[in-house]
Structure 1
Amino acid sequence: MHAVGIVAAAGSGLRLGADRPKALVPLAGRPLVAWAVDTLLGSGVAEVVVAVPADELAAFAAVLPPEARPVVGGATRTASVRAALAAVTDPARPAPDAVLVHDAARPLTPPEVVTRVLAALADGAPAVVPVLPVVDTTVRVDGDGVVTGALPREALRRVQTPQGFAGAVLVDAYDRLPDGVELTDDAAVVRAAGVPVATVAGDERAAKVTVPHDLALAELQVPR
């Protein structure tokens, strides 16, 4: 199966307190984006396109391997994925059997998670996401922050990346998405187009780096 990857890496890093794009913040001496790209390339993905800020193309090109190429992303995640999709589905290149979309902010995602996503796509799933169970009590609150009820957590899951899609499924779903509509992830985009989304087991090590505490925890988990 010819799989290509997209890495969303155009975030500003403000919540991380960084003076550079979050994807360029170092983890154990390497930028977050390098970790994410290496995970995809080491797990059966043939090439990777990285959506980056327009004014940081050179900085990203300097840290990415030859199999990964940066493209200018957009002001939103949706715009960035659209730009990367256009690059990975260029008619001059072989049409991919699968497209995986990964967050640069999940640097320590184990290769086994990528392998499970690819296996589900190979088995015929049109879309698949890695998930984890919700272990905390989860409640609903009103506008004043007062608890109005509890949600049954048995049916709830936390969604991670990479999220995988067969062939042109993701392209078609983005083509159907009205301009200006922003959804939280790519699985939501394909679900809006009526595509069922399967799940595979995620991993706690695939946690997202958002604030300084997350980065400190990731430093403790880096394989030595």
Structure 2
Amino acid sequence: MSDVSHPPRTAAVIPAAGRGVRLGPGAPKALRTLNGTPMLVHAVRAMAASRAVTLVVVVAPADETQGVKALLADLALPDRTDIAVVPGGDTRQESVRLGLEAIPEGIDIVLVHDAARPLVPVDTVDSVIEAVRDGAVAVVPALPLADTVKEVEPAPSGGPEPVVATPERARLRAVQTPQGFDRATLVNAHATMAVAGGDGATDCAGMVERLGAPVVVVPGHEEAFKVTRPLDLVLAEAVLARRRANDGF
């Protein structure tokens, strides 16, 4: 028997079932195009660019599943990387759970990546995976905040909102994806949240925090921003134009 150890295999789940109403009417957000290519395709390529990723599971809108399968059927990916498409649920939490259920045995590390972050660099993906390999059960890439943040009492009428606190900015981070997890920990977090019957946290790392498990942060990247509003599309196009000019991307 060989005593040569192999690093644990990694799969990436991309929940792409959201409609993205803030981008305006039209196709689901993940299918909006950047430089003529759907954001989802950019996101899949970003995950597959990591040599550690052997499977990408795309969780598509239930009524768009066949169309997404057709979109990705002829996508050129590295030979080491397989792709699967499954229908999503009504919430992001449910969609991630459905993506997790599609991952076969033998894969110990799971990334969860927003389709709306199509331009994350491979170095960021790799740093998240490496931190999980080194023993962290949950890892998030994040950036320090440039702006001062105020905690307010929300005003339902949309009027002026009273400030109740000013958090210390040096202790705050803006979290990005892909978030990386020990598979068993993430499955346990989803199972626990399902039993609790709530929608859960706004990200998978928040669900792991609720288990009492440690979550660590690694440096994020400014190009891993989330495309949420029309102006973000303009910025993403500019990033792609710069990559083409500098790297032939």
Which TM-score bucket, shorter chain as reference? Answer: over 0.9
Question: Residue type of the partner of 1:214?
Answer: D
The answer (yes or no) to whether the contact 1:40–1:111 under 8 Å persists in 2 is yes
Which residue, out of 105, 109, 118, partners 2:120?
109
Q: Which moved more, 1:106-115 or 1:10-19?
A: 10-19
How far apart in 2 are the matches of 1:129 and 1:4?
A: 16
Partner SS for 1:116: helix
TM-score (norm 2): 0.85
Question: Residue type of the partner of 1:120?
Answer: A
Q: Where does residue 73 of structure 1 map in the other structure?
A: 88
Equivalences for 1:119-158 in 2 at 5 Å? Answer: 119-144=130-155, 145-158=161-174
CA offsets per residue over residues 192-211 of structure 1, 9 Å max, x none?
11110011000010000011
Residue 95 of structure 1 deviates from its aligned partner by 2.2
Residue 56 of structure 1 deviates from its aligned partner by 0.2
Name the % identity. Answer: 46
Q: Where does residue 182 of structure 2 map in the other structure?
A: 166
Which residue, out of 44, 55, 79, partners 1:47?
55
Partner SS for 1:151: coil
Partner SS for 1:168: helix
Q: Which moved more, 1:196-205 or 1:131-140?
A: 131-140
Residue 146 of structure 1 deviates from its aligned partner by 2.3
Q: Where does residue 185 of structure 1 map in the other structure?
A: 203
Q: Which runs of 5+ in 2 are unaligned?
A: 1-7, 156-160, 245-249
CA offsets per residue over residues 131-180 of structure 1, 9 Å max, x none?
10012111122345122332110100010000000131100111111223
Residue 26 and residue 18 in structure 1: after superposition, are their counterparts in 2 closer, same or farther (change >3 A)?
Answer: farther
Residue 226 of structure 2 is aligned to residue 208 of structure 1: yes
Q: Which moved more, 1:173-182 or 1:111-120?
A: 173-182
Which residue, out of 5, 9, 12, partners 1:2?
9
The answer (yes or no) to whether the contact 1:13–1:22 under 8 Å persists in 2 is yes
How far apart in 1 are the matches of 2:175 and 2:99?
A: 21
Q: Where does residue 56 of structure 1 map in the other structure?
A: 64
Q: Where does residue 3 of structure 2 map in the other structure?
A: none
The answer (yes or no) to whether the contact 1:13–1:19 under 8 Å persists in 2 is no
Say how many residue pairs are matched: 220
Question: Residue type of the partner of 1:105?
Answer: A
Residue 15 of structure 1 deviates from its aligned partner by 1.2
How far apart in 2 are the matches of 1:10 and 1:190?
A: 22
Q: Kindly report the root-mean-square deviation, in angstroms, between the aligned alpha carbons of the 2 structures.
A: 1.3
Partner SS for 1:196: coil
Which residue, out of 23, 39, 57, partners 1:16?
23
Q: Which runs of 5+ in 1 are unaligned?
A: none
The answer (yes or no) to whether the contact 1:10–1:74 under 8 Å persists in 2 is yes
Q: Where does residue 39 of structure 2 map in the other structure?
A: 32
Residue 102 of structure 2 is aligned to residue 87 of structure 1: yes
Question: Residue type of the partner of 1:157?
Answer: R
Residue 101 of structure 1 deviates from its aligned partner by 0.2
TM-score (norm 1): 0.94
Partner SS for 1:35: helix
Question: Residue type of the partner of 1:188?
Answer: G
